[in-house]
Amino acid sequence: MKKTIQYGTTVIEFDLTYSDRKTLGIKVFPDTHVEITAPLNTTENAVIEKVKSKANWIIKQKEFFLSFHPLTPPRKFISGETHLYLGKQYRLKIIESKEESVKLYSGYLVIRTTDKLNKKRIKHLLHNWYQQKATIHFHTLFEKWTLAMLPIIQKEITLSFKWMDTKWGMCNAHGKITLNTELIKAPKKCIEYVIAHEMCHLQYLNHSKSFYKLLTTYYPSWREAKSRLEHFMV
C-alpha cells in the first residue's frame, strides 16, 4: 500500500508491505522509489515513526540515485550546483581569482578561475580535476586488485582510462584494461567492482556462467555494486 510522510518541506512516499520478519526493513531503489517491509504485528504509527527517524538517510539515498539518473538536468557549472566525487555530493563554489585551481573544502568543490562567468572554462577545469583524481585512485585500486586476483592473471596487464558513453570498462585479449573516467564519480566499491569484472575477462572473454562464478568468488557483492552503476548508462 502507498503511504506518505512529511519531513520538513519534503514529502516521502513509500510502498508498505508486511511479512513474517522480525525487523523493519527500508530500501531505496535506483529509480528512487522507497519500499518498507514491516513485521506482521507492526502498527502503522510505529512504521511512520521509524520512517521519520530514517528520513534524512532516505532523502540522501534518493538524491544519490537522482544524480546518476539520465534525466538529471544538464550541468550549468554555477555555484550551488551539486557534483559527485567518489559517491559523495559536493556543491560547487565558483570564486574569481588570478590563479586557477580546483579543491575539495568542507563539502564544497571550490573552483578558482579568472572568469567565473566562463562556464566552458569552469567545465574544463573540473573535467581535468576529475582526470587527475582518476589517475590516482584508479591506479591504486588496480594495484590492489592485481594482487588480490593474481592467481588468474597469467599475462602482463595494463591499465588505461578514458571518457566513454556506454561502457564502464573494457578488457581485450592482450590484457589491456580500460576504465571509464566517469567512474571517479562513483563510490570506490563500485570502481573496484568494475576492475574485478574486467580482470575476470582475463580468464573468460564473455559473460558465461563460468565468468560470473569467478566474479562471485572474488567479488561476492558485485550485484549490489552493479545496480548502483546502471543509472549512468545512456
pLDDT tens track of the chain, all 234 residues?
888 888 877 788 899 999 888 899 999 887 778 999 999 999 999 999 999 999 989 988 887 776 655 545 678 899 999 899 998 889 999 999 999 999 999 889 999 999 999 999 999 999 999 999 999 999 999 999 999 999 999 889 999 999 987 788 999 989 999 999 999 999 999 999 999 999 999 999 988 999 999 999 999 999 888 887 875 543
CA distance 29 to 51: 15
**Which CATH fold would you assign to the domain 134-232?**
Zincin-like (3.30.2010)
Q: Rg of the Cα trace of the chain?
A: 21
Domain residue limits, the chain:
2-68, 82-131, 134-232
On whether the pTM is more than 0.85, the answer is no
